[in-house]
A and B are shown apart, each in its own frame.
Chain A
Amino acid sequence: MKLRTNHILLLSFLLLTATVNAQNLNDLLAAESSDGPQPVEALFKATRVINGHSVKQLKKGELDFRISHRFGQVNTGPYEFFGLDQSNIHLSLEYGLLDKLMVGVGRGTYEKTVDAFARYNITNQQSGKGAFPLTISYLSTIETVGLKWSDPTRTNYFTSRLSFTQQLLLARKFSKLSVQLMPTFVHRNLVPTVMDPNDLFALGVAGRFKIANRLAITGEYYYVLRPTPQRTAEKYYNPLSLGFDIETGGHVFQIVLTNSQAMREGGFIGKTTSSWLNGGIHLGFNISRVFTLDSKTKK
C-alpha cells in the first residue's frame, strides 16, 4: 500500500515535469518580457499648441526654427482684404540643451517684442505597470517691449519694458486625445493705467485630437482672472485659438484662427483686445522646422 503511494507520487512528479516542459515557450516569453513603465510620447507635435507652449520637449541637440505669422482681423472688411493686408510675425530659435531642458529666444512684430524662455520637463507620462499619469513641465519667460516710449519726457526705466511669465504645464494623452492644463502667472513691471493689474493669474486649457497619423486638430483657451466689470479703458478678452496641425518629416505646419494678435504669453494673456463674437479673428500659421545638430549615438 505504501509502495503504491510512492508510485503515485513519482508519477505525479513526472507528470508535473511534462507539463512544465510542454508549457508554451510563448507564455514563458510573456512572463519574462513583462515590461516596466514605458514613456508615452508625442502628446503634442510642436513645442506650441498654438500661441502657448505645449509639453512637447526638444531633446538634447535639437534646434527648432519657428516662423509664426498672424494676419489682421477678419472683421476689417474688404478694404483690408479681411485682414490679409496686415501682417504680424514672430521668429524664434529654440534649442534643447538637455533632454529635459530647452531654451529659446524670439522677436515679434507685436509691440516689437524680444523674448526668451527656459522650459524644464519635470516628469513624463508613462504606460504600463506602475506608470506615472502625467507629463509635467515648467516654463519661465521674459519679454521686453521694444516700442518707443509713449512719453519720452518722463524718466523711463528699461525695467519698465519687462514682463515675466511663470507657467506649469500638466498634460495627459488619452489615445488620440491629448489634454493640457496651464496654471499661469504673468507679471508686468509697467502697465498702461492705474486700473490695469500688474499681476495676472490665468488658467489655460489646451487639447490636441489626432485625426490621422500626421494630422491633428488643436485648441487652446486661457481664462484670465480680471476684476469684473473691467474698469480699464481698453476691454480685454480671453484668448481662444483653434488650429490644424500638419506634419511632414521635420516640419510641423499649424494653420490657426485666434482672437489674439500677440504670440507670447505677456501679449496674448495680458493684451488680447479683440473678440471672436464680433469677428475679431486673426488667420495665421506657425511653421516649425527641427534640425538635429547633435546626434545621440554617433557611429
Chain B
Amino acid sequence: MKNRIIWLAMGLALSLTVQAQNRFFTKTGHIDFFSHTAVEDIKATNDQVTSFLDTSTGDMVFSVLSRSFQFPKPLMQEHFNENYMESEKFPKASFIGKISDLKSVDFTKPGKYQVKIAGKLTIHGVTKDVEAAGELSVDKDKIDGTSVFSVKPEDYDIKIPSVVKANFAESMKVTVQMNYQLYIPKK
C-alpha cells in the first residue's frame, strides 16, 4: 500500500514537471496596427491577446478578438467591426505557427534571440501562410516576444470602398508584443 502511494507520488511529480516546463502563456498580449496616409492615421490597439508558446516544439498559437481593438474614435471602431472585420460573423483572428529556427534559441539561458516564425494567419475568415521575424527575450519563467510585420486588408478579403480608399494605407503595420509567463494549468 505504502509502495503504491510512493509510485503514485512519483508519477504525479513527473507529470507536473513535464507539464510545467515548456508551456508559456499570456492573456494580456498586445497587438496594434497602424496605417498612415495623407488623409488620416488609423491606429488601434488590443491588450487582450491570448497566446501560448511551447518551448519544446516551438509551437505558437494566438487568438485575438476583433471587438477588443480600441480606436481613438468610437465611430471608427464601429466601422471596423461592422463594415470591415464583420466581427459578428468572424469574431476572432488567429495565428497557428511555429518558430522555424528553434535550435537557435536556448530557453535555459536568459538573453535575446532573433527568430523566424511561420504559420497560418486567419483574419476575416481568410487563412494565409505568413512569415515574420521576431525577437524573444528569455528570462527565468518569463519570455517576452515582439514582432513587426505588415498585413494587406485585401489579402483577407476585407473590402474598402473606393470613396474611402485614400484613407487607408495599402498595408497595415502590425506590432505584436507578448509577455509570456510560465503556464500553470487551472485545476
**Residues of chain A having any CB pair with chain B under 8 Å:** 2, 5-6, 9-10, 12-14, 16-17, 20-21, 25-26, 28-30, 32-33, 35, 38-42, 59-60, 62, 127, 175, 213-214, 247-250, 290, 292, 295-299
Contacts and interface: CB of A to CB of B under 8 A. Distances in A.
Given A6-B4, A35-B65, A13 B11 contact: yes
A298 B72 contact: yes
Contacts of B63: 29-30, 33
Contacts of A40: 88
B108 interface: no
A80 to B, nearest CB: 35
Contacts of B180: none
A159 B135 CA distance: 71
B70 A10 contact: no
A214 B161 contact: yes
Contacts of A41: 67, 78, 81-82
Interface in B50-104: 50-52, 54, 59, 61-63, 65, 67, 70-75, 78-79, 81-83, 86, 88, 91, 96
A292 B79 CA distance: 14
B7 A17 contact: no
B88 A175 contact: yes
Contacts of B23: 25, 28
Given A42-B78, A213-B83, A9 B27 contact: no
| Chain A interface helix/strand/loop/mixed | mixed
B92 to A, nearest CB: 8
A91 B136 CA distance: 57
A41 B52 CA distance: 30
Interface string B170-187: 000000000000010000
B4 A29 contact: no
Given A14-B14, A42-B82, A28 B52 contact: yes
B78 A21 contact: no
A213 B84 CA distance: 9
Interface string B1-42: 001100110111011001100010101000000000000000
Contacts of B83: 213-214, 247
Contact of A213 (B4, B54, B73, B82): B82
Contacts of A26: 61, 96
Given A249-B163, A249-B167, A297-B45, 12 more contacts: A9-B7, A10-B7, A10-B11, A14-B11, A21-B18, A28-B23, A33-B65, A38-B65, A38-B67, A42-B81, A249-B79, A295-B73
Given A10-B7, A41-B82, A248 B163 contact: yes
A25 B59 contact: yes
A268 B85 CA distance: 38
Contacts of B4: 5-6, 9
B52 to A, nearest CB: 5
B73 A292 contact: yes
A242 to B, nearest CB: 22
B162 to A, nearest CB: 11
A296 B70 contact: yes
